[in-house]
Every structure is written in structure tokens, then in C-alpha cells.
């Protein structure tokens, strides 16, 4: 089974801090994704990457950046955290092959105070 591991289940940070969310997958997948999930808004795509050092903006990239230095690891960075970035953050990976399913981590619930 594919394993997608997010480094923290819960995280509390302060406004203005630089925040790193880490995600690791163990299936050699090319594609990785970061989403945020908010009540009433569903999942929204922040950034995705289809290869090492490659990144693409999703629907809501403002205030975020990403890093993909190794195939198995995809990091989401909040450059200067703000309270409206309090959310559940979900990482996913996707292998090659047309229309394969995405595999999700358990999420990081981030609170910005």
C-alpha cells in the first residue's frame, strides 16, 4: 500500500512566522499535491509538482511556496503565516498511468494565532 506521511498532525504557530509542512511518500510517485480543506469550501489545490524541482500553481497559491528537492518529499512553506491560513492541510501523491487514484496523508491541522 502507498504510504503518504505528513510530519505533524497538529501544529500551532504565530502570525508572521515562517512555517514548513513536510510530506513524504514511499511509492516513487512522480506527482505530488498540496491541498487545504476548510468547512464549506471542500478541498482546494494550492500547488502541485510532477517532478523533482518542478512546481505548478494550483487554485490558491497566494501566500504559499513549495519545494521538491527529492522525489519522495514535497514541502509546503508559509512564508509569513497569517490567521486566514488556519486550516487542514492535505498532501497527496499520484503515480504514473492515466487516471490513477491519488493517495492522501492524514493531514496537518494548522492553527495560526
Partner 1 sequence: DAKTTQPNSMESNEEEPVHLPCNHSTISGTDYIHWYRQLPSQGPEYVIHGLTSNVNNRMASLAIAEDRKSSTLILHRATLRDAAVYYCIRSVGADGLTFGKGTHLIIQP
User: Binding residues for partner 1, per CB under 8 A?
Assistant: 4, 30-31, 33, 35, 40, 42-43, 45, 48, 50, 58-59, 90, 92, 94, 98-99, 101-107
Closest approach of Cβ 100 to partner 1, in Å?
9
Closest approach of Cβ 56 to partner 1, in Å?
9
21 Cβ partners below 8 Å, 6+ apart?
6, 7, 8, 11, 34, 75, 76, 77, 78, 89, 91, 108, 110
What 3-state class would DSSP assign to 56? strand
- CA dist 50 and 95 (Å) reads 10
CB-nearer residue toward partner 1: 48 or 64: 48
CB-nearer residue toward partner 1: 35 or 64: 35
CB-nearer residue toward partner 1: 33 or 64: 33
Amino acid at each position: 500500500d502507498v504510504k503518504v506521511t505528513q510530519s505533524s498532525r497538529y501544529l500551532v504557530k504565530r502570525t508572521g512566522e515562517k512555517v514548513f509542512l513536510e510530506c513524504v511518500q514511499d511509492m516513487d510517485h512522480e506527482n505530488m499535491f498540496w491541498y487545504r480543506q476548510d468547512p464549506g469550501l471542500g478541498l482546494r489545490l494550492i500547488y502541485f509538482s510532477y517532478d523533482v524541482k518542478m512546481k505548478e500553481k494550483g487554485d490558491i497559491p497566494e501566500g504559499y511556496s513549495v519545494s521538491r528537492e527529492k522525489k519522495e518529499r514535497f514541502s509546503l512553506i508559509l512564508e509569513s503565516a497569517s490567521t486566514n491560513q488556519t486550516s487542514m492541510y492535505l498532501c497527496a501523491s499520484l503515480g504514473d498511468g492515466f487516471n490513477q487514484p491519488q493517495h492522501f496523508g492524514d493531514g496537518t491541522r494548522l492553527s495560526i494565532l
